[in-house]
Structure 1
């Protein structure tokens, strides 16, 4: 059996650029609607809502402790790619709102669009040995070591985070937000399969 073909440096670079940019666009949709989400991004969004601090700097700071864990468990290359992805997302999340606006955006549709966009962004990063830090690192580690689907692991964390979201958002907003987070995790759970996607 031949070894799977490895991604080139250019392929990895475009995946990080695509994944980070689409994830930032998803955050623009999310925060425009005042919604919340799960994972480390969700934690940063909740802190941002509660304090008034910008999402970008908060997201970057929240991820800092996870790089040591990522390095020890996933290696230097994964950690470097993840750091670049998080830094790019943080910067784009501060820049994009100055250049994108929505005249009309239904919250339910916005939540689903956020889920599809963010799910595809995470898939691109995962398939090129990167993540958006935090819970994504733990989820990928558990998937690789124990066979647990990354999407389901993140969904469990999301449940705890969404319980906390009721403290800063009204119940209907949290319900709509949960739809978006569910779509994200379903996209990952269904499409991120090591036994089907073997390029590295």
Structure 2
């Protein structure tokens, strides 16, 4: 049976839902000073070094990557990714106004937060979207220079987690690795690109996203 693409309204609703999952996962991470890889990890690092909120930093970090996505992957993927990134940026700043986590176990925050972000990314992949950032750059470098996208993303995520030692205690970095593991387990067990209609390039980058720790 021939597969058909999701409509714009379906994409929009799904990506807003996915953005809420990711934003709440990030909120759990922030509440316990946990880290994650990709553009989201860079944004979390930025909140420790700059007087700026996560949402704004996350949105700004992703801006340069849209040109790469537009030329290397496709218009639909770029537009949907812009919707996803914008949703996460906005909701991550609004959630604390409605939810107060005054006391949460770091292990619970890592496991549940990682799963929430994983589910959000899974929905994004199924609607030809992503969290942008490092994943798009990794795909570009692989196509242009033959640098394996998974290896590049793993290297960047490792640098992000090691850099986090400057701002947070090492036990929390170890717990953050657990969060990344939970995130990737959700993706690896549930993501089956061949079941959905998408451009080959979009399917490839989504696989690379799911192969390594990510919030991007």
User: What TM-score do the two structures reach when normalised by structure 2?
Assistant: 0.81
Q: 1:123, 1:142 → 2: CA distance?
A: 23
Please show how residues 138-177 of structure 1 align to structure 2 within 5 Å: 138=137, 154-177=153-176
Please show how residues 74-85 of structure 1 align to structure 2 within 5 Å: 74-85=73-84
Contact 2:23 2:92 in 1 (8 A): yes
Q: 1:121, 1:39 → 2: CA distance?
A: 15
Could you say which residue in structure 2 is the equivalent of 1:63? 62
List runs of 5+ in structure 2 lacking aligned partners. 199-216
- CA distance change for structure 1 residues 142 and 3 in 2, over 3 Å: closer, same or farther? farther
Cα RMSD, aligned residues only: 2.5
Task: Quote the offset at 1:136 in angstroms.
Answer: 3.1
The CA deviation string for residues 93-125 of structure 1, in whole angstroms up to 9 with x for no partner, is 111111111243110111000110000000000
Task: Quote the offset at 1:199 in angstroms.
Answer: 3.7
- CA distance change for structure 1 residues 8 and 135 in 2, over 3 Å: closer, same or farther? same
Task: Quote the offset at 1:137 in angstroms.
Answer: 2.6
Moved more, 76-85 or 111-120: 76-85
- CA distance change for structure 1 residues 35 and 60 in 2, over 3 Å: closer, same or farther? same
Could you say which residue in structure 2 is the equivalent of 1:36? 35
Could you say which residue in structure 1 is the equivalent of 2:52? 53
Q: Give aligned pairs, total.
A: 196
Contact 1:36 1:45 in 2 (8 A): yes
Please show how residues 19-34 of structure 1 align to structure 2 within 5 Å: 19-34=18-33
Q: 1:120, 1:149 → 2: CA distance?
A: 22
Could you say which residue in structure 2 is the equivalent of 1:124? 123
Contact 1:74 1:141 in 2 (8 A): no
Q: 1:82, 1:91 → 2: CA distance?
A: 14
Q: 1:120, 1:24 → 2: CA distance?
A: 12
Q: 1:154, 1:101 → 2: CA distance?
A: 33
Contact 1:155 1:182 in 2 (8 A): no
Task: Quote the offset at 1:52 in angstroms.
Answer: 3.3
- CA distance change for structure 1 residues 124 and 82 in 2, over 3 Å: closer, same or farther? same
User: What TM-score do the two structures reach when normalised by structure 1?
Assistant: 0.88
The CA deviation string for residues 135-163 of structure 1, in whole angstroms up to 9 with x for no partner, is 2334667999x9x897x874443222111
Q: State whether structure 2 residue 178 is matched by structure 1 residue 179.
A: yes
Could you say which residue in structure 2 is the equivalent of 1:198? 196
Contact 2:65 2:137 in 1 (8 A): no
Could you say which residue in structure 1 is the equivalent of 2:114? 115
- CA distance change for structure 1 residues 142 and 9 in 2, over 3 Å: closer, same or farther? farther
The alignment partner of 1:166 has SS state of helix
